[in-house]
Amino acid sequence: TAEVVPQAPEDPLFGLMRAFKADQSPDKVDLGIGAYRDNNAKPWVLPVVKKADETLRNDPELNHEYAPIAGLPFFTSKAAELILGGPDSPAIKEKRVTSVQTISGTGAVHLGALFLARYWTGNKKVYISNPTWANHNQIFGNVNVPIASYPYFSKETKGLDFDGMKSAILGAPDRSIILLHACAHNPTGVDPTFEQWKEIAQIMRSKNHFPFFDCAYQGFATGDLMKDNLAVRHFVEQGFELVIAQSFAKNFGLYGERAGCFHAVTGPAPDAESTITRMASQLAILQRSEISNPPLYGARIAGTVMNDPKLFAEWEENLRTMSGRIIDMRKSLRAKLEELGTPGTWNHITDQIGMFSFTGLNEAQVMKIRSDAHVYMTKNGRISMAGLNTGNIDYFAKALDKVVRD
């Protein structure tokens, strides 16, 4: 059978990382993968993560037994509070939420997709933004949930195509699954305003659509964890039944530790608690057959921080350091391009939020800036703002200016 297995293409993002590593130029700039870098272009272990790690190491009771199937409760309960807005969330108070620890955000999207593939009785099709995180296609494809897309990004304004988005959501058959990025949209860096979220919720309510929130960047949009969950909170307040995939990769810098959580929320109903109990039982079976038990380390770190008010405050400070540096880079890049008189408008660099910016470069320009200036970004012109620092931003602005003029 081996000969029937065709060669698959390399994952584009990880291929880009490999090409960057192989590049010998001292000037090379990595704007590919969405991982935070400090001003020296180095990965940053959050000081609060170091503290939590030390606490864990010094705990003589700590062992390496299996976690429960649904993960560590001290982590999943705080993860739910973080995305739902605290213990006063109506979903938490009314026991209408169940949470399962997953293999980071990817595992949470997968578990949600698998669950809906089994149990969603509406239109079994997921609508994803165009563009979106490339893995969404593969994950839903793997569980045979067909995919359609809704317009999201306007090439003209380099902002939200709100009319296009609304009419596609309105045009989708009743009870479709709509995948929404909770905040800091990947790859565009463009989010709806709160007023726009309210309109989206209204349209989705009128169509009885099912919201599937993917939240990989809480804390990176506004720098405030409790502001970055406003869209999710609004939908919950409106009584939607919904699911959430939550990643702690970026906001804790725990990329490789795979700390994440899947949450299912049912609507307010007299039997909501028993519905959630049944859902939890099925999620446990799916989890058992796929990973048995989730990994401990990342959840222990995140759980330790989220359960301790002092460490939590320090985490918020660390998040402000990361989001603040990214905002500085946005301001600086825009100013430099405007100073150089680079053709085009560059306000989108500071208007866009989160970790990424959609520069507007086309694929030919992306390939040219790579071969001419050793600057690495994804083919769609997305740059990870965290790859910029005071040491390379001048060089990058000039390279960008040149490729736009060429």
Chain residues binding ligand PMP by CB under 6 A are: 34, 104-106, 109, 133, 181, 186, 214, 216, 247, 249, 255, 260
CB atoms within 10 A of CB 338: 14
Query: Residue 113 or 276: which CB sits closer to ligand PMP?
Result: 113
Name which of 127 and 133 has its Cβ closer to ligand PMP.
133
CB 349 within 8 Å of CB 326:
no
Closest residue to ligand PMP: CB criterion = 105
H or E stretch at 7: none
Q: Which of 120, 133, 197, 315 is catalytic?
A: 133
- Residue 347 CA to residue 355 CA, distance in Å, equals 16
Minimal distance in Å, beta carbon 152 to ligand PMP? 12
Instruction: Respond yes or no: is residue 27 known to be catalytic.
Output: no
Contact (CB, 8 A) for 34 and 358: no
Based on CB atoms, which residue is closest to ligand PMP, 315 or 356? 356
250 is catalytic: yes
Pick left, alpha or beta for residue 208 (phi over 0 → left; psi -120 to 50 → alpha; otherwise beta): left
Q: Closer CB to ligand PMP, residue 34 or residue 85? A: 34
| Min separation Cβ 389 and ligand PMP, Å | 21
Which is catalytic among the residues 250, 315, 336, 346?
Answer: 250
DSSP category for residue 379: T
CB of 105 to ligand PMP, least distance (A): 3
Strands 356-358 and 242-247: unpaired
Catalytic residue (one of 30, 161, 191, 214): 214
Residues 244 and 262: beta-carbon distance below 8 Å: yes
- Smallest separation, CB 40 to ligand PMP (Å): 23
Q: Which residues contact 193 (CB under 8 A, 6 or more apart)?
A: none
197 is catalytic: no
Which residues does the annotation mark as catalytic? Answer: 133, 214, 250
